[in-house]
Amino acid sequence: MVEQEGFRRYVAHIVLWIGIAIVAFPVYVAIVASTQDNALIANGQMSLLPGGHFFEVYYQTIFVGTSGSTREPVANMMLNSLVMALLIAVGKIAISIISAYGIVYFRFPFRMPIFWIIFITLMLPVEVRIYPTYKIVADLHMLDSYAGLALPLIASATATLLFRQFFMTVPDELLEASRIDGAGPLRFFWDTLLPLSRTNMAALFVILFILGWNQYLWPLLITTRDDMQTIQIGIRKMMTTNDALTEWPIVMATAVLAMLPPVFVVVAMQKLFVRGLVETEK
């Protein structure tokens, strides 16, 4: 970057710090609130400094749950969310990379119509087709199951398009060299295309994992049992309509816990895709 004169640089920095403060403040409040006594918060006397109840609040949140409302330990909610987010992310990647492979590399009747049908589903997100989807899942007896949570969200036009775009940039000669080297379609896919898609898969995984983790409407509809609820639903249930009965430190602790896995995934995968970007293949 071009070196700027002192004054303007300070202004820029101040603006940036203000931005960070605005974004970070609610997170800070959540963390602080999760360490305080419920009575203080309920009275509106919450201090902005950390309280002394960190261990007991988190212990109760993770292993016991609230004393009123859902009573489900958050550890279990996190497990549910994790399974769902992983199934969605991995499932979406697997399905879409295979369908993109089919569309790009094979000539079959109605190839383009099929591609357009996939494309059009972009216009039909879960919210739009929620009733028929619910009906199907209910008829298949998949309410309150991981399959019911994840399957309907797995089909992905976006990821299919992304892989299709990527495959079209892979030089044809690689396929031809593979054919001469005696690799059939499956081998080419496994030995060449998948390794080349690694960075794309990592990037998609991050996005899709967070997408899955943050699902709200769908899990709300199809889970009825408390032991199948995801953390996002759990947070909502903990907040009863009567403000005084809400156990705010536990709600806040749950919110903080809900943030951790996405943060972890971003941090962990970021290394992988920065490395991927630096070592650009080809």
Using the rule CB under 8 A, is 111 a contact of other proteins? no
Determine the Cα–Cα distance for residues 11 and 9; give it in Å rounded to an integer.
5
CA atoms within 13 A on the CB side of 109: 0
Residues 6+ apart with CB under 8 A from 236: 216, 220
CB atoms closer than 10 angstroms to residue 5 = 7
Question: Which span (48-56, 135-143, 182-190, 266-274) binds other proteins, by CB under 8 A?
Answer: 182-190
Question: Which 192-211 residues touch other proteins, going by CB under 8 A?
Answer: 192, 195-196, 198
DSSP structural state of residue 37: -
The binder of other proteins chosen from 2, 5, 48, 282 (CB under 8 A): 282
Using the rule CB under 8 A, is 191 a contact of other proteins? yes
Question: In the bound complex, what is the minimum distance in angstroms from residue 110's beta carbon to other proteins?
Answer: 17
- 240, 68 Cβ separation under 8 angstroms: yes
Of the pair 6, 182, the CB lying nearest other proteins is at 182
The binder of other proteins chosen from 6, 44, 109, 182 (CB under 8 A): 182
Tokens describing residue 39: 């009575």
Of the pair 198, 237, the CB lying nearest other proteins is at 198
Using the rule CB under 8 A, is 177 a contact of other proteins? yes
Question: Which 155-174 residues touch other proteins, going by CB under 8 A?
Answer: 171, 173-174
- 200, 163 Cβ separation under 8 angstroms: yes
DSSP structural state of residue 197: T
Using the rule CB under 8 A, is 13 a contact of other proteins? no
Of the pair 196, 220, the CB lying nearest other proteins is at 196
The rounded Cα 24 to chain-centroid distance in angstroms is: 20
- Which helix H or strand E contains 198, and what residues bound it? helix 198-213
The binder of other proteins chosen from 1, 48, 180, 244 (CB under 8 A): 180
Residues that bind other proteins (CB under 8 A): 171, 173-174, 176-177, 179-183, 187, 191-192, 195-196, 198, 279-282
